[in-house]
Amino acid sequence: MTTGIRFDRKMSEAEGLMWRLDKDPYLSSTFANLSVLDRAPDFDRLRRRMERASIAIPRLRQRVQSAPANLTPPLWVDDPDFDIDYHVRRVSLPAPGSMRQMLDLATLITNDPFDRTRPLWQFVVIEGLDGDRAVLVEKLHHSIADGEGSVQLSLQFFDFERDAPEPSALEWEPSADTSSILNADVWREMLAGPMKLPLALVKQMRDLIADPTQIPANGSATIDTLRGVIGQMTDVEPARSPLWTTRSLRRRAEVLSAPFTTTRDAARSMGGTLNTALLCAAADAAGRYHRALGAPIDELRASMAISTRKQTGDGEATNAFSLARMLVPTAEMPVHERFRLVNEATIAAANGSAASLVGAAASLATSLPTGLITRMARLQSQTVDFATSNVKGTPIPVYVAGSQIVNNFPLGPLGGVAFNLTLLSHVGSLDMGLNMDAGAISHPEVLRECLHDAFDDLLTSTKKSKKRTSPKK
């Protein structure tokens, strides 16, 4: 059987970087989706479906095998001890089964580190949500797939009707031994010439990241190379928030929704996209939050995940994104003015996204020690206040093991920022997950309400503008 989805056996440099950065828990690349179901799913049916999915999509049965000294990106290899019951589980909430209880439990599940000797995914059914509902927590490591890639993966367990017949069973066929491939890649890297960065240069980089002022004004070609690398990784402005100065491993999640069509049309009427609307609302909410706590701020630094996936139908389901960073306006101002400024900043940042954190750091990942890479990434994360991401979902109803998905709330990785607001479109709704560092965001409920008000103002302002500009009858 073919799924139409292509996976490479070797990680890309960006995926290898995310895998190595996971050694630092502050930089974890794990993300999740909270699928709210209208009723508890048939768990045995879900287990069978995921067992089949793990055969149809070999990545779900593979673990990571790193190369010696990280000379090449890691490989995906079959897990000989694969156990579906380790990856598909269920728990139940105590009464009354509130959304708050569910979000707290889902946050613990999402932030529990993966066992790095096993495949990097886990599905947990949370039963007992009020109204006889349930939630499916779909947890994946970012090295498996990005947001859009995970949506493609979900087609292996989604149905388009509640009582859809189960697909026929598949037989597992182990992959060929990859140890010879890995060894050949390592020797090829070593014999092709010197390593990308000499060990002496690695030591200089470690010292100069601590104090970039040591870079000489003039020097050899090696120093010129070093100056360019350090400049790319450190020539950024710091995060601006006077409140979000602490980073911790404590997490808090909130969820909210906005109407898809109305929000999209509002964005189009102001010359932008849903990406612009999302970032505009996030910037507005961040400004409101600071003013509410007595610390007004005119600008904050944001990052936005931008898909680089080619629309060619090639079935690529791994990672295809870059990170664009920009300053966004957070002072009080008319919605149209903020939208215009955010749209301009987004376009400028997207055009320069090749120099983003993912692209710049990934090219160094196979040449630098993990400790140095994580230190560089931590320094970069300290330049950003908050992150946003927009993922395309499904416009039609879908079902999982006999249960309908009524909301799909994504929880994006923090990666060292104060909060991540990720949007997933689902059947006429824009479902958003607000993943927060509880050490930075001291009043999470206030930020959620600020976001709610920001989206309301964005839509209300557009309606008022249409009324003012519409001709009299």
Of the candidates 338, 359, 445, 335, the residue with the CA atom closest to the CA atom of residue 103: 445
CB of 390 closer than 8 Å to CB of 406: no
pLDDT at 51: 95
pLDDT at 328: 97
pLDDT at 362: 58
Cα(299)–Cα(457) distance, rounded to whole angstroms? Answer: 19
Of the candidates 230, 235, 345, the residue with the CA atom closest to the CA atom of residue 280: 345
- Ramachandran assignment for 234, one of left (phi > 0), alpha (psi -120 to 50 degrees), beta (any other): alpha
pLDDT at 321: 54
pLDDT at 89: 98
Cα(73)–Cα(345) distance, rounded to whole angstroms? Answer: 34
3-state secondary structure of 241: coil
Cα(90)–Cα(126) distance, rounded to whole angstroms? Answer: 6
CB of 76 closer than 8 Å to CB of 59: yes
∠ CA(137), CA(139), CA(140), 5° rounding? 160
Cα(195)–Cα(121) distance, rounded to whole angstroms? Answer: 33
**What DSSP element (H or E) covers 123?**
strand 121-129
Cα(316)–Cα(426) distance, rounded to whole angstroms? Answer: 22
Cα(74)–Cα(268) distance, rounded to whole angstroms? Answer: 42
3-state secondary structure of 345: helix
In one letter, which amino acid is 397?
A: P
pLDDT tens digits for the chain (473 residues)? Answer: 444 556 778 887 778 888 888 888 888 889 999 999 999 999 999 999 999 999 998 899 999 998 776 667 789 999 999 999 999 999 999 999 999 999 999 999 999 999 999 999 999 999 999 999 999 999 999 888 765 666 677 888 899 999 999 999 899 988 766 555 555 554 455 444 444 444 554 555 555 555 545 545 444 444 444 444 455 455 557 899 999 999 999 999 999 999 999 999 999 999 999 999 999 999 999 999 999 999 999 999 999 987 655 543 444 445 555 678 899 999 999 999 999 999 999 988 877 644 444 554 555 556 667 777 777 777 778 889 999 999 888 899 999 999 999 999 999 999 999 999 999 999 999 999 999 999 999 999 999 999 999 999 999 976 655 443 333 33
Class of domain 251-391+424-469: alpha beta
Cα(299)–Cα(354) distance, rounded to whole angstroms? Answer: 24
pLDDT at 21: 83
Of the candidates 198, 188, 205, 226, the residue with the CA atom closest to the CA atom of residue 72: 188
Q: What is the DSSP string of 143-180?
A: TT--HHHHHHHHTTT-BSSTTPPPPPP----PPPP-HH
CB of 113 closer than 8 Å to CB of 141: no
CB of 445 closer than 8 Å to CB of 62: no
Report residue 103 as tokens. Answer: 């979000």
- Phi, psi (degrees; rounded to nearest 5) at 102: -60, -45
Domain boundaries, the chain: 251-391+424-469
Is 27 exposed, middle or buried (CB count within 10 Å of its CB: 0-12, 13-18, 19+)?
A: buried
pLDDT at 108: 97
In one letter, which amino acid is 190?
A: M
Exposure b/e, 397-434, CB count within 10 A at least 16 = b: ebbbbbbbbbbbbbbbbbbbbbbbbbbbbbbebbbbbb
Of the candidates 106, 109, 111, the residue with the CA atom closest to the CA atom of residue 87: 109
Exposure b/e, 242-255, CB count within 10 A at least 16 = b: ebbeebeeebbbbb
Report residue 214 as tokens. Answer: 């040591």
Q: What is the DSSP string of 25-84?
A: GGG--EEEEEEEESS---HHHHHHHHHHHHHHSGGGGEEEEPPGGG-S--EEEE-TT--H
> How are strands ordered across the β-sheet holding 429-437?
251-259, 429-437, 419-426, 386-391, 299-307, 321-329
